[in-house]
Structure 1
Amino acid sequence: MCKYRKKLLQGDLNHFMKSVIDEIATQSDFIIIAMESDIDHLHLMVQYIPRMSISSIISRIKQTTTYRVWRNKRFIPLLQKHFWKEKTFWTDGFFACSIGEANPETIKSYIENQG
C-alpha cells in the first residue's frame, strides 16, 4: 500500500512499478503469477521456494521499487509533492495469505480484475 494511501499507482508510475517488480522476480527465486494495482495498493500472486520467506520477498520489492522510483527523474516532482519529508513510497506493513484449498485460477482471476 502506498504510504498515506496516496493514489499514485496509475499511468506511467504504475507501469514503471510493475516493470521493476517483474525485473526483481526475474532476478530472484520467485515468480509473479498475477499482479494488478488499485491506485493505492498492489495485489500479487507469488510462487516461491520454501526456503524463502514472504516477508523477504516483500521487503525486496518495497526497497528496490522505492529506490528505483526515486532515482527516476520523471517521477521526482510527483513524489516530492506527496512525500516532501522523506524518500518513501510504501507503508511499513503488508498483508499476505496462502492460497490453501482455493482454486489458483480463481485467485488469479480476482487479482487480474482489480483496479
Structure 2
Amino acid sequence: MDAIKQKIQSIADAHHCEIVAMETDKDHVHILLGYDTTDSVCNIVKTLKQETTHHLWQRFGPFLAKHYWKKRIFWSDGILCL
C-alpha cells in the first residue's frame, strides 16, 4: 500500500491539493483532501483513479493480471458524478 500512498501524494502535489489524512487497508483507501473550490471533486477523483491505475499496472502488471479479469481496471466506480 505504500506504492499507492506515494502515488496519491505525488498526484495531489502535482494538482495543488493537500492530503489532510489518508488511511489504507488491503482493499480500500480513505482520503481527506483539501482542494481549490474551483476544482471539481469528480475531476479530482477521476484523476486519482486514472493515474494510480496506470502506475499500478505499469509496476505490478503480471501480478494484477492474475487477479483482475479485465486489464487496466483497479478501482470500483465508488463515486457518481453527473
Which residue, out of 63, 68, 74, partners 2:55?
A: 68
Which residue, out of 24, 28, 35, partners 1:41?
A: 28
Q: CA RMSD in A?
A: 1.4
Amino acid at match of 2:25: D
CA-to-aligned-CA distance 1:11-67 (integer Å, 9 cap, x gap): xxx110110000001111211011011211111010011101111111000000000
Larger Cα Rg: Structure 1 or Structure 2? 1
Unaligned runs of 5+ in 2: none
Question: Could you tell me which residue of structure 2 aligns to residue 86 of structure 1?
Answer: 71
Runs of 4+ deviating beyond 2 Å: none
Instruction: Indicate the structure whose relative CO is greater, using CA pairs within 8 Å and at least 6 residues apart.
Output: 1
Q: How many residues align?
A: 80
User: Is 1:22 matched up with 2:5?
Assistant: no
Q: Percent identity?
A: 39
